[in-house]
């Protein structure tokens, strides 16, 4: 068996589900990047999750999720066409990175004081 590498089959549906759970629990620190509609979260110091949205057809956006190693090389990429839940990861990442929930809550508090 020397020289042979075993291949582990990764189910992207399971991976995306875990990322959604950890995002909702506040365990992933999603950050903005200098590029529009690109958000990242570092995990474990050696892997980065990157989610992006790019124009696809007409007004539609194609979302993708990429796992990057410590030097920025892709380990895995999955699109919302393959795993529809990538859309939810993108929405969670954007909401967290842009602090939308906090901003909306602050707005509600201001409205209540009027």
**Residues facing residue 66 across a β-bridge:** 50, 77
Report the chain's mean pLDDT, rounded to a whole number.
88
Question: What's residue 55's pLDDT?
Answer: 80
Could you read off the pLDDT of 25-42 as tens digits, one per residue? Answer: 999 999 999 998 999 999
In a domain, 59, yes or no: yes
> How is 66-79 classified by DSSP, letter by letter?
EEE-TTS-EEEEEE
Domain membership flag for residue 66: yes
Mean pLDDT, residues 11-38 taken together: 95
Residue 40 maps to a domain: yes
Is 2 a domain residue?
no
pLDDT digits (tens, 9 = 90+) for 62-80: 899 999 999 999 999 999 9
**Residue 3 forms part of a structural domain:** no
Residue-range definition of the domain harbouring residue 106:
12-113
The mean per-residue pLDDT over the stretch 38-52 comes to 95
Report d(CA 25, CA 53) in Å as an integer: 23
Is the pLDDT at 2 greater than 60? The verdict is no
User: Would residue 6 count as lying in a domain?
Assistant: no
CA distance 65 to 58: 21
Q: Beta-carbon neighbour count of residue 107 at 10 Å?
A: 10
Q: Is 52 helix (H, G, I), strand (E, B) or coil?
A: strand
> Residue 1 domain-assigned?
no
* Parallel, antiparallel or unpaired: strands 47-55 and 74-79: unpaired
Instruction: Please count the structural domains in the chain.
Output: 1
Residue 70 lies in a domain: yes
Helix (H) or strand (E) holding 96: helix 86-97
């Amino acid at each position: 068996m020397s020289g042979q590498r075993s291949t582990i089959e990764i189910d992207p549906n399971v991976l995306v589900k875990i990322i959604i759970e950890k995002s909702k629990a506040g365990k992933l620190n999603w950050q903005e990047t200098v590029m529009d509609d690109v958000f990242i979260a570092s995990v474990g110091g050696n892997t980065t999750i990157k989610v992006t949205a790019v124009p696809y057809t007409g007004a539609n956006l194609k979302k993708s999720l990429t796992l990057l190693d410590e030097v920025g090389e892709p380990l895995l990429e999955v699109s919302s066409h393959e795993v529809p839940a990538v859309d939810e990861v993108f929405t969670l990442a954007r909401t967290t990175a842009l602090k939308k929930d906090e901003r909306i809550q602050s707005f509600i508090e201001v409205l209540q004081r009027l």
